[in-house]
Structure 1
């Protein structure tokens, strides 16, 4: 009996030692790939590679050091939304009072969005036989958005809260919505390099230069939000009167839902839509007491959902445009694990991420392996910043979660992007 126990113990020790040796060998091999790279050694490079089956890090390179994550910040926004919103997006809060329908926005950006094509809120308001009253009382003054945007947070955005400038059939510049044309004027002191419409810094007034306009001229301009703008836009698109009230949002207000949540998240993640990312955080705050606010959503998520991140972080916006965001590679990997576990279904999870060689911001980055993709990842791009974070499947079927962060480089950004692809493809082939 003792002999069997001893043999079993020895076999177990041998098994553990073999696993350790293989793991150490893998670390050395990956380490050599990075040491041999002339590109990733001339700036900050942080890398973390997590083996899903073993639930542990296989390799780390400065993985505990915080860096600017750029649009990898959208992974944190996604996780926040998965926790704070349900399967369908709340598009409107409302009550009926006598012959009146009083409604409040939630921050839902889907109403008449050109890609999401949601008409549920529009149809609800259009088909109502009651007098319409819009209340702006739950909207914070977020024109500064996350303090760095011309994009502003809107409680009830219609068509992305934008104006479309275009060359009219009469050869004159025009704006849509049409009511904005009353605020468009010629400015002889405005001298852009090419014809463009300029919006005033704080108001929805527009000017154009005294120069030739291309016949195919088109331009999108974000609008300064406010109750009056929402009212005027709704009147134009609904074709019926809409009044303004300052009534506070009551607790018993009903909710009108708009689009499936995943359709909104996918639209944010694949093309890396900054506007949607900011609005999604604003939308998340509609589930909290008080006014709609990106900062409120960030504070709530940080205190309730992100306390287990391995390293200190700094989070300032939803999209990653801010250079004040800081997360380490280890923290990005942890976020990807949390997103995976929260979603639960692998097919649904991977459908939300750009696919290497197939879709989104990775369509032209990776090549598929004989038509089979092996990378599903969020990219991040700012000046002197190139990031990837996502999921990798190797030829042997092993599943990894990784974060590849590059900051403060002075060489062409394409060289950084190409090197990330080369290294991740090597890991795909070797492991």
Structure 2
């Protein structure tokens, strides 16, 4: 009788211990997996069927409350594409004044020696005329162009070199002319210097213009069936730039040999700086973004030792961006580089800092692409009163949108919604981003 009782006793104790262990294990597991519940705004993103196979991150910040109201994978790193231009904007706001420092120059007798600081506006076909052309045209003595102060390469780190002939990848240079592109139309070639450089190549059913990679030899294939305007970057060389200036000014411009320029110089200012920011953000002009970084680099080069974008980036990161939640991997000004990596919460923090620099919302929002009205989102977010003011970012398999959102209730929100590594059509991703932001606009 005793043995069966002992057996039952040990079975009971064993069962109790096993149950206790299981309960303890369940509680422990529950504790580990007990992540904070997402808000309904974050759930719009996390529950999206369109984003299901994406790498997606989202952050939403209430300016009035000064608090984050929604996050979804906001600490993950994403390729930002042209969202990198927001970092370039902030660099400019921190380092540049109200007007573009277009030229540096010095004089020796009747000779004017001048060099560029990165200003992309001189003779640009889509920009207003500045005083730089008149300044050079009206000089009564000799003109010498010094091109040796640029120490960078023609393309940024991580760019696709196969895109050398595409309009969005003009070469970087210290004193761009004509936007560093040749503009072809049905009847004209500008700058006219290149009008004899166009040849007819092999036949093609589809009209196309092309260029040799390392020479300014342009080719047309096929025949245009309608009016067209097409920009192709030209190959930048010191002699080419001096010749373009000579041809346009109708006076000789010679190259000045490489030497130590030193700190003795004057600066000529040109257009309002917002003309650069607005085109960079609304049209998503890559060339302007890279050149704005060079303008910033020139501000930390008082002895004219040499400018390049990497110096500006490192300076801005150290002096102005040390408080971001996550260190930005920032390689270029435009976002063409696949090396760039930012997190949504860092982009939102950056947009807070931009807003603090430009608290006048009429000015700030006027620089951005405006939903239903201007720039890269003019065909989206259509409303009687615009409510999205943002920067797009698009590369293959990448679509990001970050900026400011006005709600029907009168709130101003900052958001960053970043998508990458998807195989759907970008139009589907773009439409889903629009659906989510429109719902927040209507219901927040």
TM-score, normalising length: structure 2: 0.84
What is the deviation of 1:216? Answer: 4.3
Aligned length: 397
Give ranges in structure 1 of 5+ residues lacking alignment.
1-24, 169-173
Deviates more, 1:282-291 or 1:200-209: 200-209
* Equivalent residue runs for 1:23-422 within 5 Å: 28-148=39-159, 150=164, 151-168=170-187, 175-181=189-195, 183-185=197-199, 187=201, 190=202, 194-209=206-221, 212=223, 216=227, 218-246=229-257, 247-289=259-301, 290-368=305-383, 371-422=384-435
The 1-side partners of 2:382 and 2:199 are apart by: 49
The 1-side partners of 2:219 and 2:434 are apart by: 44
The 2-side partners of 1:217 and 1:372 are apart by: 34
> Residue by residue, what CA displacement relative to the aligned partner does 1:88-138 show, whole Å, maximum 9, x if unpaired?
111111112111111011110011222221331001101111211111121
The 1-side partners of 2:372 and 2:117 are apart by: 36
Contact 1:167 1:214 in 2 (8 A): no
The reply on whether 1:426 has 2:439 as its aligned counterpart is yes
The 1-side partners of 2:251 and 2:264 are apart by: 27
Give ranges in structure 2 of 5+ residues lacking alignment.
1-35, 165-169
What is the deviation of 1:152? Answer: 1.0
Contact 2:372 2:380 in 1 (8 A): yes
The 2-side partners of 1:393 and 1:101 are apart by: 51
The 2-side partners of 1:84 and 1:379 are apart by: 24
Contact 1:138 1:248 in 2 (8 A): no
Name the SS of the counterpart of 1:278 in structure 2. Answer: helix
Deviates more, 1:255-264 or 1:293-302: 293-302
The 1-side partners of 2:184 and 2:45 are apart by: 48
Contact 1:137 1:248 in 2 (8 A): no
